[in-house]
Amino acid sequence: MLEPSPKDPAPAEDAESEPRPGRVRKPIGWSTIIIAVLVAVSAGLVWRRDGTDGVLDILTHDLSLFSGILPRVLAGCLLGAFISEILPHEKVSRSLGPKSGLMGLLIGTAFGAILPGGPFTAYPVASALLAVGADFGATIAMVVSWTLIGYGRAVAWEIPIMGTDFTLWRIVISLPLPVLAGALGRFVYIRLYPKPLAKDDES
């Protein structure tokens, strides 16, 4: 692993010398436990229904799936880390922060729509944006835009399975949704957490 070097991680950027705001890294949270229980119960049911062979069949299939996904997860994590490192924090919080208005939601939407890859990129990158100063609204717009109008899943899965007509039509219907979802998110967030935890920049 990394040697105990004296230089702390990543101070190099502008004036931002305080420790980076949390990329959340919870070791084993309750959600992991819920998933583990869900998986264990499901595996038990499969075992009762199909016996050991059934359990092993699924295991080998999913293991090969997993090994295929692994490099992409690494790419997603690196993408998230680089992006959170190279984006200047004040600029992000100005253009994607709580006060960024409609423009911030539109930028989030555009960003989600052009982001390459699958969930293994969208979520690390969204998490990086949150960490460098985007607010919930803009990040919601980005995630919703990625899932509804991003081209990745549409090209790889939806067009082959559902057909081009349906897919394009569905995307047209979905166009306003990321901005609306982001706006709703912002609207609710301000009322849920009236005093934001963030230090007020540019006073």
Q: Which is nearer to other proteins, 157 or 198 (CB)?
A: 157
Residue among 105, 130, 132, 179 that touches other proteins (CB under 8 A): 130
Sort 165 into a burial class: Cβ within 10 Å, 0-12 / 13-18 / 19+. Answer: exposed
Among 56, 102, 103, 168, binds other proteins (CB under 8 A): 168
Token pair listed for 81: 């880390």
d(CA 146, CA 120): 12
Task: Compose the 39-78 pattern: x for residues touching other proteins by CB under 8 A, - for all others.
Answer: x--xx-xx-------xx--xx-xxx-xx--xx-xxxxxxx
CA distance 25 to 12: 22
| Residue span binding other proteins (CB under 8 A) among the ranges 90-98, 103-111, 149-157 | 149-157
Contact 117, 75 (CB under 8 A): yes
Give CA–CA dist 142/132, Å, rounded.
Answer: 15
Residue 91 interacts with other proteins (CB under 8 A): yes or no: no
Residue pair 74/117 in contact by the 8 Å Cβ criterion: no
* Residues sharing a CB contact under 8 Å with residue 166, sequence separation 6 or more, in sequence order: 158
Q: Name the residue nearer to other proteins (CB basis): 7 or 199.
A: 7
**Between 194 and 203, CB nearer to other proteins:** 194
Q: Select from 15, 17, 18, 25 the one that contacts other proteins (CB under 8 A).
A: 25
Q: Closest distance between other proteins and the C-beta of residue 3, in Å?
A: 11
| Position 133 contacts other proteins (CB under 8 A) | no
Among 107, 113, 148, 179, binds other proteins (CB under 8 A): 148
Asked if 149 and 171 count as a contact pair (C-beta separation under 8 A), the reply is yes
Q: Which is nearer to other proteins, 103 or 155 (CB)?
A: 155
| Residue among 158 and 203 whose Cβ is closer to other proteins | 158
Residue 98 near residue 139 (C-beta atoms within 8 A) = no
